[in-house]
């Protein structure tokens, strides 16, 4: 899809990967609607978009709320008449042993990381189908492609769901003229850790120390990857090319891959 002249909506667009993608889209000639719970940050990104010569709009949006998803769509359609690109990007991490995590915490992460994506699809995709054109990018994770550790099972669960939804959407929407991409980042330098919840771990410093052993990618590098994928209509977006080898190995021998990780071999955490 050509992004010049397009209208994009990005949830979780006030920082990190969302902000990077919003600014790259604006550089390419797109107008961008930022949906986020952080109003001041969203307004700052809109100012950056306008500084690039494009129109921007900030809308308060909590992706766990049906009404907020509907209000985001209403605001976008009222301001721009149509939406060409939807990026469901809002996400949070939850750490801890799965048998010790309260159901309220399970509900919290699934409502944001999975149901938030579903709400975005329901709010925006019907109009794309009616027009016969559009593009959807869902931010999953490499954690949605393989389970990298036991202490992030809620996050892995939510991202496997997001990835599966996205792959299914590609089968459903591409024949209708709508492109679909799954963004599967590894460790990225964002502020996602501001919202991390850790349940059932006596030493919470272990996880944060482990992250220091792996190569993070700057958030500003992700936006160009996403926009390039939109232009090329490419489904899978990997921020860390080395994960392609992990996925290939997993596909060749899933039992061996699971056994190796269970034996304690190092595997990269993701944000």
What's the rounded Cα separation, in Å, for the pair 115 and 167? Answer: 16
Per the residue annotation, which of 135, 148, 155, 163 is the catalytic one? Answer: 155
The crossing angle, in degrees rounded to 10, of helices 115-131 and 103-113 is: 20
Positive or negative, the Cα torsion across 229, 29, 222, 137? negative
Cα dihedral value 23, 25, 28, 33, nearest 10: -90
Chain length of the chain: 271
202 forms bridges with which residues in the sheet?
none
118 burial type by CB count under 10 A (0-12 exposed, 13-18 middle, 19+ buried): middle
Backbone angles phi and psi of 140, in degrees to 5: -95, -120
Contact call for residues 162 and 143 (beta carbons, < 8 A): no
Identify the three-state secondary structure at position 218: strand
- In 115-159, beta strands by DSSP E: 134-139
> Which residue from 195, 222, 198, 221 is spatially nearest to 210, judged by alpha carbons?
198
What's the rounded Cα separation, in Å, for the pair 57 and 241? Answer: 34
155 noted as active-site residue: yes
Active-site positions? Answer: 155
């Amino acid at each position: 899809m050509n992004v010049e002249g397009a209208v994009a909506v990005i949830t979780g667009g006030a920082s990190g990967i969302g902000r990077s993608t919003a600014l790259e889209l604006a550089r390419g000639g797109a107008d961008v609607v930022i949906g986020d719970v952080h109003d001041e940050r969203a307004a700052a990104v809109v100012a950056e978009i306008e500084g690039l010569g494009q129109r921007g709009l900030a809308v308060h949006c909590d992706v766990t709320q049906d009404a907020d998803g509907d209000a985001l769509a209403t605001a976008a359609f009222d301001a721009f008449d149509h939406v060409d690109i939807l990026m469901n990007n809002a996400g949070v991490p939850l750490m801890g042993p799965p048998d010790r995590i309260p159901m309220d915490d399970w509900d919290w992460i699934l409502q944001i990381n999975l149901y938030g994506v579903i709400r975005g699809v329901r709010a925006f995709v019907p109009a794309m189908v009616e027009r016969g054109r559009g593009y959807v990018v869902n931010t999953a994770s490499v954690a949605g492609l393989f389970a990298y550790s036991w202490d992030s099972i809620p996050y892995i669960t939510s991202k496997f769901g997001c990835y599966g939804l996205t792959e299914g959407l590609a089968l459903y929407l591409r024949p209708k003229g709508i492109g679909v991409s799954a963004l599967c980042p590894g460790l990225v330098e964002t502020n996602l850790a501001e919202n991390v919840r850790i349940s059932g771990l006596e030493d919470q410093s272990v996880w944060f120390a482990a992250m220091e052993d792996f190569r993070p990618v700057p958030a500003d590098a992700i936006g160009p990857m996403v926009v390039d994928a939109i232009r090329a209509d490419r489904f899978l977006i990997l921020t860390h090319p080395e994960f392609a080898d992990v996925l290939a190995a997993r596909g060749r021998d899933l039992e061996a891959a699971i056994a190796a990780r269970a034996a304690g071999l190092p595997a990269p955490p993701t944000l």
